[in-house]
Amino acid sequence: MTTLTTSFVSPGALDQVLDSAPDVTTEIASEQRNSLAERFRAVSLPSHRRLDAWMVERASTHVTPFRWSPSTARRVLGNATLRYRLAHQVSAMAALDEVVVDHLSRAATGYARRGSLSSWLSELSTAQLALVTSDALNWSHSLEEVARSVEGGLVEVADSDAYYDVATARTTLRGRRDLLVTKDEKRTIIRLRSGAPGRTAGAGLRADLTIDAFSRPDGRAANQIIGVWPDAGLLLRVEGSLDDIKAGAKDLLRVANLQHTTFYQRPLAS
């Protein structure tokens, strides 16, 4: 049985949820990796695809081309800003300036590939760049509030998202993670979300939890994943149980199956 717990954001609420993490740590075995790969190979596509929690939440069969925008850039820039700020003990604005300058420098020196965030930022006007940095600064502030609300334990801003290439299935799984909390030897993933959680938010958290577990060489799943929606004042938690990981894998496979069916049922061009 999968687990989904909802709590209201209040002083100490996040700590209570962190302290309630299950003691048992689930481990992904090689047999489970092979089984997942076999199932994905059965619904593979001619071209490479990337699946994530966003697609699971929307049961998406069609992926529009990715485009950078203030809303898609704010998380990358905001997380990097907080990571720099905590490492160098500078103000949030100074940290964001360093992050943006680093991106612009990469573009100016030719080290930024076409379509990258660095390349996109370099093409913005001053007004557009100001809008992007404002959104990123707000995201960084919100993430820092969440991080500083944790009492005790080790809190880290994730260096990157989790990626898992499914063997010979032309499929990459991407699991988002913003904060990593280690408390009493239990690992928790925290996702910062905007707006309010929808009906499928729990499925999205399960997908992120599952991908994180498969991406780790030791296969050790996080004890839990917590989604924080500050705008709505809500916390959603999914335990890192084997049932939840299996449910996350099934949701990802469901999206892959929808894509497979849609692709091969398309009418042939005349």
Q: Report pLDDT digits (tens) over 128-174.
A: 999 999 999 999 999 999 999 999 889 999 999 999 999 899 999 99
Query: 215 with 227: CB under 8 angstroms?
Result: no
Q: Cα–Cα–Cα angle for 248, 254, 256, nearest 5°?
A: 110
Q: Cα separation of 35 and 249, whole Å? A: 11
Q: Which residues contact 122 (CB under 8 A, 6 or more apart)?
A: 103, 104, 107, 108, 112
Name the nearest CA neighbour of 36 among 216, 189, 176, 171. 171
Q: Which residues contact 140 (CB under 8 A, 6 or more apart)?
A: 77, 78, 79, 81, 82, 85, 92, 95, 96
Sorting pLDDT into bands at 50, 70 and 90, what band is 270?
Answer: very low
Query: Taking 70 as the threshold, does the pLDDT of residue 267 lie above it?
Result: no
Structure tokens at 130: 């100001």
Query: 135 with 68: CB under 8 angstroms?
Result: no
Q: DSSP letter at 140?
A: H
Predicted confidence (pLDDT) per residue in 39-68, tens digit: 999 998 999 999 999 999 987 656 677 899
pLDDT (mean) for 117-138: 97
- Residue where the block lists tokens 């939890």: 209
pLDDT (mean) for 79-107: 97
pLDDT in the model for residue 152: 86
Predicted confidence (pLDDT) per residue in 203-255, tens digit: 999 999 999 999 999 999 999 999 999 999 999 999 999 999 999 999 999 99
pLDDT in the model for residue 156: 97
The count of C-alpha atoms lying within 13 angstroms of the C-alpha of 23, restricted to the half-sphere facing its C-beta, is 0
pLDDT in the model for residue 6: 83
Distance separating the N- and C-terminal Cα atoms of the chain: 48
> Could you give the C-alpha distances from 160 to 79, 80, 174, in angstroms and in order?
9, 10, 10
Name the nearest CA neighbour of 29 among 171, 214, 153. 214
Query: Taking 60 as the threshold, does the pLDDT of residue 269 lie above it?
Result: no
Query: Taking 70 as the threshold, does the pLDDT of residue 22 lie above it?
Result: yes
pLDDT in the model for residue 10: 81
pLDDT in the model for residue 23: 93
Q: Cα separation of 40 and 165, whole Å? A: 11
> Could you give the C-alpha distances from 92 to 69, 87, 122, in angstroms and in order?
21, 12, 21
pLDDT (mean) for 15-19: 93
Q: Cα separation of 100 and 224, whole Å? A: 33
List the beta strands (DSSP E) in the chain: 5-8, 49-52, 154-157, 162-166, 171-175, 179-183, 186-192, 224-229, 234-239
105-109, 206-210, 256-260: least confident range: 256-260
Partners of 226 in the β-ladder: 190, 237
Q: Cα separation of 182 and 222, whole Å? A: 10
pLDDT (mean) for 94-109: 97
Torsion, CA 189, CA 192, CA 197, CA 199, rounded to 10: -40
**Percentage with pLDDT > 70 across the chain:** 96
Q: Cα separation of 237 and 230, whole Å? A: 14
